[in-house]
């Protein structure tokens, strides 16, 4: 089969012919139809410090995809050939303390599909049946392919009550930040203010439901609050940028008792204004992946009752043109890019 492989420890990816994956007794073989490129895939492509410390080559990348079941293992009884499915990208052990108390998303022994083992940028992928999800037929294939990152956005946004609240999203123009804005709007937030340095992505965030999006290089959050008639700080903060400056700007503009979801990966040398955090009584929650499997339930219910995230998909191309897709990703002028494997 054809697959996009990180075959060498250097910049780049390569389309190669590789053996079909084996199917164990508890596994499912999926023929991939649609896949989407993630920021993680771009890190692997660029072979940055994180990738060099994490990835063991060769490996097939990709963890956002959907397809059709074509084979099931001898012990599989809840997934059937011909079903349309997507996959939770984190394989949990099922036995550690966190797994056994219903917190599989922070399993002690998580294995990441497309990172620690072969992923979905291929014509076929074999995955544990327990990670396979069937969703409502009303959800289109390409939306189904991006439910993994939508899950990050949903986990980030719904970690704290949103009804009537004022929300600040830093890095709102990235696909997860933009989808988080859509979820906040759907869940009843009042004002959704975002910051992003990219004009292209600021425009995308507006399409996704943000009330106001500003360029932090030429505007400031306090002024935006005034233009919206806000008299106090933000109730909820969603940090999606990974920028120390943006994070501290968020802390500065939070209302006392506010709550912040931290999705962006801040550098290890980030300096934080701890006195603001303490005296404002702020709550910080680290966000990793999706809460398995409550976040998936929330996504499906929202997508079938009016949540529209389709504007976040800005490019569609065949998998053979993956190099063009990664060039566009590197330029940053895109939302989600769908790769067609059919």
264 belongs to an annotated ligand binding site: yes
DSSP label at 122? B
Using CA atoms, how far residue 234 sits from 97, 193, 325, in Å, is 35, 9, 36
158 belongs to an annotated ligand binding site: no
Three-state secondary structure call for residue 101? coil
99 belongs to an annotated ligand binding site: yes
43 is an active site residue = yes
334 belongs to an annotated ligand binding site: no
Angle between helical axes of 199-207 and 175-186 (0-180°, round to 10): 30
Sign of the CA dihedral running 233, 236, 241, 247: positive
96 belongs to an annotated ligand binding site: yes
Alpha-carbon distance of 191 to 173, in angstroms, equals 16
166 belongs to an annotated ligand binding site: no
184 belongs to an annotated ligand binding site: no
Say if strands 27-36 and 59-60 run parallel, antiparallel, or are unpaired: unpaired
283 is an active site residue = no
89 belongs to an annotated ligand binding site: no
107 belongs to an annotated ligand binding site: yes
Which residue, among 216, 203, 230, 169, has the nearest Cα to 334 in the 3D structure? 203
The β-bridge partners of 239 are 170, 262
Which segments are annotated as binding site for Zn(2+)?
Answer: 38, 63-64, 93, 96, 99, 107
Which segments are annotated as binding site?
Answer: 38, 63-64, 93, 96, 99, 107, 176, 196, 201, 263-265, 287-288
Just list the catalytic residues.
40, 43
């Amino acid at each position: 089969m054809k697959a996009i492989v990180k075959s060498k420890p250097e910049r780049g990816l390569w389309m190669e012919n590789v053996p079909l994956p084996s199917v164990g007794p508890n596994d499912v073989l999926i023929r991939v139809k649609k896949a989407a490129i993630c920021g993680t895939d771009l890190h692997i492509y660029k072979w940055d410090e994180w990738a060099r410390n994490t990835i063991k080559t060769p490996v097939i990348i990709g963890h956002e995809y959907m397809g059709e079941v074509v084979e099931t293992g001898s012990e599989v009884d809840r997934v059937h050939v011909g079903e349309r499915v997507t996959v939770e990208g984190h394989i949990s052990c099922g036995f550690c303390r966190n797994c056994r108390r219903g917190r599989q998303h922070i399993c002690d022994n998580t294995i990441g599909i497309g990172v620690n083992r072969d992923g979905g940028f291929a014509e076929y992928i074999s995955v544990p049946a327990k990670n396979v999800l069937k969703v409502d037929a009303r959800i289109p294939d390409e939306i189904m392919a991006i439910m993994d990152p939508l899950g990050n956005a949903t986990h980030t946004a719904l970690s704290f009550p949103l009804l009537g609240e004022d929300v600040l999203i830093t890095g709102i123009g990235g696909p997860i930040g933009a989808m988080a804005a859509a979820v906040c709007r759907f869940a009843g937030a009042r004002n959704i203010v975002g910051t992003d340095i990219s004009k292209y992505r600021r425009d995308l965030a507006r399409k996704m439901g943000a009330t106001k999006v500003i360029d932090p290089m030429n505007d400031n959050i306090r002024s935006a609050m005034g233009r919206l008639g806000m008299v106090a700080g933000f109730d909820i903060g969603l940090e999606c940028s990974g920028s120390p400056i943006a994070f501290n700007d968020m802390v500065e503009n939070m209302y006392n008792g506010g709550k912040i979801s931290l999705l962006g990966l801040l550098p290890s040398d980030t300096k934080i204004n701890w006195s603001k955090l303490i005296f404002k009584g702020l709550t910080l929650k680290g966000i990793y992946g999706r809460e398995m499997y409550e976040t998936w339930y929330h996504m499906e219910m929202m997508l079938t009752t009016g949540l529209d995230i389709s504007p976040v998909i800005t490019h569609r191309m065949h998998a053979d043109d993956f190099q063009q897709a990664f060039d566009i990703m590197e330029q940053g002028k895109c939302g989600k890019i769908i790769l067609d494997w059919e």
